[in-house]
């Protein structure tokens, strides 16, 4: 059994910023299922939002967030995270993160959809990679941080599941060492989930392969409350190309003047929203979906050819080089784009300190639902939330579980495999994985109906039984664990969507196409699901 003061599951901006701060106080284990650099953070292109312009204000940033969130963002949560932004930006810079600057040394601020002002700090069009690289380098130098790469967190260990006659709380995790096949036991009174989102539950997504909803599924099985899972944000502009199925075209490009057009060059977004191509993502994604269905074409296009070639190449070098490799010169021709699953606005229900409904467990970043994103995330607020809430989560950890108090001696049981065998037919796992992702795309994507949701629910419940049988009869592998988590998260999304009898933000249903504020006022702000 490995004992730590803090266990951090995940190695993106939320996990590493927490670990760097916590390492000043005690020993930290960073557990990540692949290489530490394989995170959703690494794939973030646009940037991180923060009020830095004298003509901007916290109040304006709050207002833009509330507007994008379609009535589901608690104002106090939004104001807290927005107002603490400048302090954590300075902290990121102190860790070596470099943001683009003007010739006079001031930060160069971009603009994205839904933002009324320029407030996006960026590093070209690879902001996430810059943050990931610098935080990871800093963390690897710290003697109090141990990395456990290729360790797949299987389940949270709780006093309730272990049969202890004490109030329920989280006391550690089991993790599979993918290189040896052994399951290791990690013990701590402070476990922090920073596992990212669940984009891979859909057939088409901008997310990396690791985004299989592991944290939400683990927390759900441990008895945590889950909220707002019906709000899956689809990014409007994923590159449409048979060789690059998950390449994001950053919203920052629209912030710099790129326009969405159809095959005939018509700018269609003003027909859907006065803000045109800079409308919030839920509006733009639905507009593109409708345009594709109306015209019968496979995609729409993003056009930035009216901007100077040098500007486009300097500002978006990664997109330029990727498209050029695919014989698309974005300085001379528009980019074919389609919407794809991008961000999980719901997740493990937490307060603004990252505290979950299970003592001893905190959740930070995309895995969590503080309420900041409401029914639809405002662009570039996610990295901000991760680094702000991780700071607050550490303070909350220490106040609830002071390190000076000697930890209770709890001997956790070792993992028992029982009489299981190796998975004999991986094709069954791959088939189920493919079926989940296809049915979610067909029935639970941008536009939904009650009948589609019911079809999805029926098949998912059958798949749950099949996957559970696999789990108990075969030796655990990363493929089996991901499938187990995918079917759990997909079911949560469908159940949550079925419960919401209105259209709001990223949840749009043809059965109830209007937003129902009267009914909303009668119910709680979050669509909460209490764990079994």
CB burial of residue 211 (10 Å; 0-12, 13-18, 19+): buried
User: Would you put residue 370 in left (φ > 0), alpha (ψ -120 to 50) or beta?
Assistant: alpha
Q: Which two tokens stand for residue 285?
A: 């994604």
Q: Tokens 């509330």 sit at which residue?
A: 66
Give the Cβ contact number of residue 298 at 10 Å: 10
Q: Tokens 């707002």 sit at which residue?
A: 228
Cα distance between residue 52 and residue 93, in whole Å = 14
Name, in order, each residue with C-beta under 8 angstroms of 262's C-beta and a sequence gap of 6 or more: 268, 291, 295, 297, 300, 301
- For 312-455, strand residue ranges (E) read 335-344, 347-349, 361-363, 368-369
> Residue 47 in contact with residue 252, Cβ under 8 Å?
yes
Name, in order, each residue with C-beta under 8 angstroms of 248's C-beta and a sequence gap of 6 or more: 43, 45, 206, 235, 237, 238, 239, 342
Cα–Cα distance list, 166 to 4, 170, 410 (Å): 21, 11, 12
Provide DSSP, 451-512.
HHHHHHHHHHHHHHHHHHHHHHHB---HHHHHHHHHHHHHHHHHHHHHH--S-BTTB-BTTS
Cα–Cα distance list, 169 to 157, 165, 194, 222, 356 (Å): 9, 11, 18, 9, 11
Cα distance between residue 361 and residue 356, in whole Å = 6
Q: Which two tokens stand for residue 383?
A: 């990295």
Cα distance between residue 363 and residue 54, in whole Å = 33
Active-site residues, by number, are 281
Q: Is the dihedral of CA 400, 403, 404, 405 positive or negative?
A: positive
In this structure, what DSSP letter does residue 107 have? Answer: B
In this structure, what DSSP letter does residue 201 have? Answer: G
Task: Give the DSSP H or E segment for 139.
Answer: helix 127-140
The string over 482-519, giving b where at least 16 C-beta atoms fall within 10 Å of a residue's C-beta and e elsewhere, is bbbbbbbbbbbbbbbbbebebbbbbbbbeebeeeeeee
Nearest C-alpha neighbor of 53 from the set 131, 134, 117: 117
């Amino acid at each position: 059994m490995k004992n730590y003061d803090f266990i951090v599951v995940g190695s993106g901006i939320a996990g590493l910023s927490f670990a760097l701060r916590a390492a000043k106080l005690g020993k930290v284990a960073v557990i990540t299922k692949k290489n530490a650099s394989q995170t959703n953070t690494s794939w973030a292109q646009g940037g991180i939002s923060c009020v830095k312009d004298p003509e901007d204000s916290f109040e304006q940033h709050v207002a833009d967030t509330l507007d994008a969130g379609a009535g589901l963002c608690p104002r106090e949560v939004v104001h807290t995270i927005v107002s603490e932004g400048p302090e954590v930006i300075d902290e990121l810079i102190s860790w070596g993160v470099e943001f683009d600057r003007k010739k006079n040394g001031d930060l160069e601020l971009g603009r994205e959809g839904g933002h009324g002002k320029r407030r996006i700090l960026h590093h070209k069009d690879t902001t996430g990679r810059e943050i990931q690289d610098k935080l990871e380098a800093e963390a690897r130098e710290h003697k109090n941080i141990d990395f456990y790469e290729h360790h797949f967190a299987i389940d949270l260990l709780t006093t309730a599941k272990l049969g202890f006659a004490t109030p329920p709380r989280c006391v550690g995790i089991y993790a599979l060492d993918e290189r040896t096949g052994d399951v290791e036991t990690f013990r701590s009174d402070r476990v922090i989930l920073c596992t990212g989102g669940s984009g891979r539950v859909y057939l088409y997504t901008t997310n990396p392969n690791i985004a299989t909803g592991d944290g939400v599924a683990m927390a759900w099985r441990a008895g945590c409350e889950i909220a707002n899972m019906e709000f899956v944000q689809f990014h409007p502009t994923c590159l449409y190309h048979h060789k690059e199925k998950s390449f994001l075209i950053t919203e920052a490009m629209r912030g710099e003047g790129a326009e969405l057009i159809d095959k005939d060059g018509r700018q269609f977004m003003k027909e859907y929203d006065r803000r045109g191509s800079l409308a919030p993502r839920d509006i733009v994604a639905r507009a593109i979906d409708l345009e594709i269905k109306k015209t019968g074409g496979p995609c729409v296009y993003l056009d930035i050819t009216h901007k100077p070639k040098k500007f486009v190449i300097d500002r978006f070098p990664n997109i330029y080089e990727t498209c050029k490799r695919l014989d698309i010169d974005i300085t001379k021709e528009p980019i074919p784009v389609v919407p794809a699953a991008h961000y999980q606005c719901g997740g493990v229900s937490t307060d603004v300190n990252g505290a979950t409904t299970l003592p001893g467990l905190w959740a930070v970043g995309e895995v969590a639902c503080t309420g900041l994103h409401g029914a639809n995330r405002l662009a570039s607020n996610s990295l901000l939330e991760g680094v702000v809430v991780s700071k607050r989560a550490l303070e909350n950890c220490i106040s609830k579980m002071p390190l000076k108090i000697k930890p209770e001696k709890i001997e956790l049981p070792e993992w028992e495999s029982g009489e299981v065998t190796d998975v004999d037919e991986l094709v069954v796992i791959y088939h189920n994985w493919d079926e989940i992702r296809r049915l979610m795309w067909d029935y639970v994507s941008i536009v939904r109906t009650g009948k589609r949701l019911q079809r999805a629910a029926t098949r998912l419940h059958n798949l749950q039984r099949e996957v559970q049988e696999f789990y108990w009869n075969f030796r655990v592998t990363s493929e089996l664990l991901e499938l187990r988590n995918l079917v759990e998260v997909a079911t949560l999304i469908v159940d949550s969507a079925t419960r919401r009898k209105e259209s709001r933000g990223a949840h749009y249903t043809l059965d109830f196409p209007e937003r129902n504020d009267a009914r909303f006022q009668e119910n709680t702000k979050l669509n909460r699901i209490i764990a079994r």
